[in-house]
Structure formats: C-alpha cells, structure tokens
Chains A and B, each alone.
Chain A
Amino acid sequence: MAPLLELEQVSLSFGGLRALHALDLEVGEREVVSVIGPNGAGKSTVFNVITGIYTPGGDIRFDGESLIGRRPHAITRMGIARTFQSLRLFLNMTVKENVKSATYGRTHATPLESMLRLPRALREEKEVEAIAEDVLSFFGQRLLGYRFNQPAYVLSYANRRRLEIARAMATGARMLLLDEPAAGMNPNETHEITELIGRLRDERGYTILVIEHDMHVVEGISDRVVALDHGEKLTEGTFHEVANHPEVVEAYLGRNPEALQK
C-alpha cells in the first residue's frame, strides 16, 4: 500500500545555507513517526515545507497528490494539520473560539448567510459547536467547562500545548504534525503527552509525524524514528536501532564515542 505522506528528494536552501538536502521520508497510514536530531538539523523545516510555509525542491505527496506550490490553508484543508514549537495560539480568543476558528475550511456559509442566520449557517454553527466540544473533551477535564470561555492567554503552558493539538484536530485533518509536544512540560505532563499521542492514533485514527527531543517520549510513541542532521537523513528504523546508531550518537555527543566511554 502506498504511504500516506511521501517526501521525495526534498531540498531547501536559505541563501547559501542548505537547510534540507535530498530528503526522502515516508509515513504510512496510522503510523507514528518521530523525527529527532540536534538543534538546527532541519526538523522544523521539514514541517514548514510539508505545510507549505516554504516551497522546496523535490516532491511531497499526500495521499497521492502533490503538495508543492499549494498554500498553507489549502494543504491543511487536504488533511495535514500542525502544531507549532513556539505555540501560536490565537491568544485573545477564547479556548472554544480557538478551536472553532480552525473549522473555517470545513464550513461554507457566506458572510451574508451568517449575518441573516440562514439555514446553512445555523446548521454549520451547530456542527462547529459539536466539533469543538468533541475535540476539547479529548483532553479530559483540562479544557472543559469554565475553560471554554476563557481567553487562551490565561491558560498554563501545558494547557496551551493541549489546545494547539485540539485546534489541529478541529481542522478535520487525517494527519497531525506535532512540533515538540512535550517541550517545557514537567515529567508528569510528559508522561501524559506520551499516552495522549498513543490515544490520538488508537482512538481517533490519526497518522502522526512528531518532532521530539525527550527520548522517553520518542521511545514511548514511535513506530519508527528518523534521525536528521544538517538537513540530511542520518538513518531510520526502530527506536533502538536509531538510538544506538553510531552516526546518531556522534551527532548528539560529538566524535569518538570510545573516548567518552573510557
């Protein structure tokens, strides 16, 4: 069976800096793949070229269709939604509105229909309400009830990360790209995120590509791990294969691991 997401010889340069070089990557339906690598390896750039923020050389196909040249909103409408490493919520909108705003691509009422509350607008608004409550309830009590109408800026850091995932889910995507979902979380919350990513796949059927630095999380969630450095793929395989690969160890710890073991 063809993979859901396919990157073929993807390259991208910023001026003289080669951010990605001839990268091949495949993610199968309902697979959880982790991308690891030291800082500056090009992990977030991979996300940015998939979601259309940069246009790379090579080809990227989602479900058989090329994504090259499409704009970000069009790509998300095709079924790939992302979160941001640096958290980009709509801070002045309420928790519920953040999620509702992400359903824009799934709804079609024109402004006129909305202003006059015509049947289609009413029906869609009901659906949007249901979608919002559904995705928010996925996170247990944390984003429910009185939280609905709080502005996003009052949320704690961990809840903002959860809300970003909820917002990505509300787009109606089949595939989620999670950029460091456990960054800045305490061990307890990190553990929760690990479970959550598993549930996203098992209960909701998402295909997931995730960038993560926390090796416990990577070990806990990944079907497959891809290691990047200097914009190139070092290796890929199961967590243990990749974690013990000499080039990966070198990229993280520096040259000559024998010297370090002494």
Chain B
Amino acid sequence: MTPIGVDEWVARSDDRRDQRGWRGRLGYLDARFGWWQRLLLVGLAAFVYGEFVVGGNVNYAQTGFNVVLYAILALGLNIAVGWAGLLDLGYIAFFGAGAYGYALFSSHAFGNLPLATGGVMLPAIASIPIAVAGVGILGMLIGLVALRLSGDYFAIVTLFVGQAFAEAANNVAPGTLGGANGLFGLQGFHVGSAAIGSTLGYYWYAVILLVVLMALLHLLDSSRTGRAWRAVRDDSLAASAMTISVNKVKVMAFAFGAVVAALAGTMFAAQQSSVFATNFSAQTLILIYACLVLGGAGSIGGAVLGGVVVTVAQQLLSSPIDSAYLFYGIILIVLIARVRPWQYLAAVLAAIVGFGVAAHAIVAAISHRAVAGSPGSAGWFATALRHYVIVPRGEPLTYGNILYIAAIVMVIVVVQLKGIRRLIAVVPTVYVGVCCWEARLTVDPGITAQIMIGAILIVTMAARPEGLLGTRRVEVV
C-alpha cells in the first residue's frame, strides 16, 4: 500500500464527486461489477424472461428476440464506432448482406438458375458460416477502400455503401434477390432433423449468441487488439508512432463489426423467414445508433442496455395504453427528479392538474364543440382525462400540429428559464404537451415512437453525455 499523498487526494476527489446522485451511482455500479458478473446478470435476466415471462405468448417472445437482436447489432456497431472511433454509417449494409446471404442459401432464390432447380437449401451449420464469412470479406474490402479517407469523408463513403446496399437489393437481379418483393419462405435454422421451429427457440438462440459475443468481445477488448483500437481512436498519429499499424487495425475493426452484423442478419432472416430491402433502411441504422449512444459507446454493457431500452420503448410506444404509461411516467419521473424540495413538487403537480381543469372549464363555457373530442389514449386514461384535456370534435389534426409546435417552443423556453420562473413555466408546458399527446401524437404511433425515442435520447444525453453505462471521455485537455 503506497502512502496517500496530497496529489492522490486531489486525484481521487473526482471519484468522490461522481458518486453522488443516480448518475454517479450508475457509474459506481458499472465499475463495481466485474465482466463475468455482468455476463451472468444478462444471462440470468434473459433466462428469467424466456422461462417465466414469455409463457407461450408469441408477442412476448418476439419482443424478447427483437431486444436481443438490437443488443447484438449495437454490440457490433460498438466495435467500429465505440472502440476504433470510425463513424461507420454503412453498418446496416452488413446486417442486410448477412440476412440476404442466409436467404440465398435457404430458399428457392437460386431456383431459376440451371443447376439449382428447387433452390439451395443448406443446413444452418453451412449457410451461416458462408453468409458471415462472405460479409466479413466484403467488410474488409470496403474497409480497405473507405479507410483511405479519414473522419467525415469516411462517414460519407460508408453512408453511400449503406444506401447502395438497399438500392442494389431492390433493383439488382430481381429474379434472384426478389426486388421489392424480397425473398420469402426461407427455411429456418436446421441441422439434420434438428430445427428451430418457434419464436421462443430463436430467442434462446439469440440469447446464447449474445452472451458468447459479449464474452468474446470483452476478451478482445482487453487484448492487444482492443488496446490498439482505442489507441487509434484517441490519437492515430501517436498510435502509429507506437508500433500500431493503424490501417490494418482499422480494417480489422470494420470487418469485425461487419461479422457481428452478419450474424445478427442470418438470425433475423431465419426468424422472420423472409427478407425485404426495406428491413435495412437508414431508419433501422438510426435505431441501432440510438441503442449505442444511449447505452454508452465504448461499453459492452452499455450497448446491450441501450438495445434493451430502445427496443422496449419502441414496443411500448406501439400500444396506446403502454405508450400512455411511458409518456406520463417520463413526465412524472423527470418532475420528481428535477423539482425539489417536495413542497415545490406537490405545488407544481397540483398546479398542472388545476391549470388543466380550469382551462377545460373555461373553453367548455365558450364553446362546447371545442372540448367534445375524445382523448387518444385508451383505457382508464381516456376516462380520467375527459375533463382535463382540450380536444375539439371532428378533425383535431391541425389543432394538434399547432400544439406540437407550441409544446416545442415552450420546452425551449422552460430550458432557458431559471428558478421559480421555470417552475411556473413548467405548468402550462406540461399541459400543452399532454393536450398535444392526446390530440395528435396518439393518432400516428409509428411517427410518435420515433419522436419519443429522439426525446428520450436528448434528455439522456443532456443528463449523462457518456450514455447510461459509458465512461466519460475527453477529447483535448
């Protein structure tokens, strides 16, 4: 034990400060658990979900599969983006190529070629390695070319690759790739007579793949290759001066990411037994980035947690009652976290309720039609809110659009204000937000899901820029 000197006390003061509040505690938990404990935790949670929660419900199994799928995709993206610091915007192409690769060897796709009447139906033990190795080589080749460029230019070229893939899948060789109709009727994973036949089966396969990948990537991260990636990310010139072959290391990161994406692709294609070019759009790419950024780029646990949070949020947002729980829950949690002491919190909550009831009463007195519409939420929420929110009868969309813009402006104002003024401004802002939600946002759940995930991302980034489980990173000190 070295004696504790003054400079050590100073150096550790940062740690002490960080441990306060939920953000600090999250970081503390992250540092506390060793990697195999985390792995065990993930495995255990996945087991409990699959064994006790799903209970034969196909929707639950599908949600579980999607969660793990996105966790794996985020894990692969993390290699290039989080570790090697390469902004890879073409990642989705490797996911797609893996899926199409599997589809080609497990369907009638080759059926119109002379030698392959009836298509090529390989067992999973052959088709997965072929698809994944092919994509790995593809990733290496694209990496070799793209990595001659640096920074923004690299990002633009990879963005092109991503777009080019979707276009190619849609237009090239429609007889084989299926064009806009995609490929369908794929065989599931099977080896000999053993086959995965249910969604839950794919869920278990995905969980095993996730846990194995987490372990392997952790071991890679703490090896010479992982160190080289992070060194290149921090300062590639210094890395090259320290014996690291920068280009080779970057291509390796790119190709490893591609391989993980391809693994996810094969399992995605097999589970939904079809592939379409639209499955691999920029929208999906953004969702994967959201997982990684939210969870914390550079962290294996973060990528997985991000996958869970984003996918579950998306799932909740597709059902009216669950999305209402999420929306009002987030408002309540943010208020509880930010408004202190509790007397203020109680006052603000009371004011929000009072403001709405009063506004509703006043508008109702002026015009009955203006409040005659029904709230968009389902279940008991709708009943509870009938005398609270103002939703006009008939066509509420224009009204809702205006409210939406008003809500955004008001949020910006609230963020600028300080102290008691902010508390006062919060009241009408929440009310306008709620009215907007009931009148407009519940009407188009698909778009609302995107907006909400964006909002969750912004709020989390403001509170914790490094992501939920990420480590704070500095650029220049």
Contacts and interface: CB of A to CB of B under 8 A. Distances in A.
Is the A/B pair a real complex? yes
Interface of A: 51, 53, 71-74, 76-77, 81-82, 84, 88-93, 97, 100-107, 109, 111, 114-117, 121, 124-125, 128, 141, 144-147, 150-151, 153-154, 156, 167-168, 171
B14 A154 contact: yes
Interface string B451-477: 000000000000000000001011111
Contact of A90 (B231, B240, B245, B476): B231
Given A100-B227, A115-B220, A145-B2, A153 B241 contact: no
Contact of A102 (B220, B243, B246, B474): B243
Given A71-B240, A91-B477, A145-B2, A128 B224 contact: yes
Given A102-B243, A153-B474, A154-B14, A90 B238 contact: yes
A171 B231 CA distance: 14
Most A-side CB within 10 Å, residue of B12, B223, B224, B238 = B224
Most B-side CB within 10 Å, residue of A72, A97, A168 = A72
A51 B240 CA distance: 10
A93 B223 contact: no
Most A-side CB within 10 Å, residue of B231, B234, B239, B243 = B243
B51 to A, nearest CB: 29
B180 interface: no
Contacts of B240: 71-73
Given A150-B11, A153-B477, A154-B11, A103 B224 contact: yes
Given A71-B245, A111-B252, 9 more contacts: A82-B241, A90-B239, A92-B233, A92-B474, A101-B230, A104-B242, A146-B12, A156-B7, A168-B242
B473 A101 contact: no
Interface of B: 2, 7-8, 11-12, 14, 216-217, 219-220, 223-228, 230-231, 233-235, 237-246, 252, 256, 471, 473-477
A104 B243 contact: yes
B8 A146 contact: yes
A59 B149 CA distance: 29
Given A89-B235, A153-B477, A154-B11, A73 B224 contact: no
25 contacts: A53-B237, A72-B240, A73-B240, A76-B242, A88-B241, A89-B238, A90-B230, A90-B234, A90-B239, A91-B234, A92-B233, A93-B234, A97-B227, A101-B230, A101-B242, A104-B231, A104-B244, A105-B243, A107-B224, A109-B223, A111-B223, A115-B216, A125-B223, A146-B12, A153-B474
Contacts of B474: 91-92, 151, 153
Contacts of B237: 53, 72, 88
B112 to A, nearest CB: 39
The 8 closest A-B pairs by CB, nearest first: A105-B243, A114-B223, A88-B238, A90-B234, A102-B242, A101-B227, A72-B240, A145-B2
B136 to A, nearest CB: 12
A90 B235 contact: yes
A182 B477 CA distance: 19
Contacts of A72: 237, 240-241
- If over half of B's interface residues share one DSSP class (helix, strand or loop), that class is named, otherwise mixed; here it is helix
Contacts of B235: 88-91
Nearest to A159: B7
Contacts of A51: 241
A97 to B, nearest CB: 6
Contacts of A154: 11, 14
B470 to A, nearest CB: 11
A130 to B, nearest CB: 14
Contacts of A77: 243
Given A92-B471, A115-B219, A104 B224 contact: yes
Nearest to B244: A104
Contacts of B245: 71, 73-74
Contacts of A103: 224, 243
Nearest to B7: A156
A67 to B, nearest CB: 13
A121 B234 CA distance: 24
Nearest to B256: A111
A109 B475 CA distance: 30
B243 A92 contact: no
A71 B243 CA distance: 10
Contacts of B216: 115-116
B224 A114 contact: yes
Contact of A111 (B12, B220, B244, B475): B220
A197 to B, nearest CB: 19
Contacts of B217: 115
A51 B237 CA distance: 11
A128 B471 CA distance: 24
Nearest to B219: A115
Contacts of B8: 146
Contacts of A82: 241
A107 B223 CA distance: 10
A147 B4 CA distance: 12
A111 B234 contact: no
B2 A114 contact: no
A81 B477 contact: no
A146 B5 CA distance: 11
A77 B243 CA distance: 6
A101 B244 contact: yes
B227 A73 contact: no
A101 B477 contact: no
Contact of A73 (B12, B230, B243, B476): B243
A144 B5 CA distance: 13
Given A150-B11, A153-B477, A114 B243 contact: no
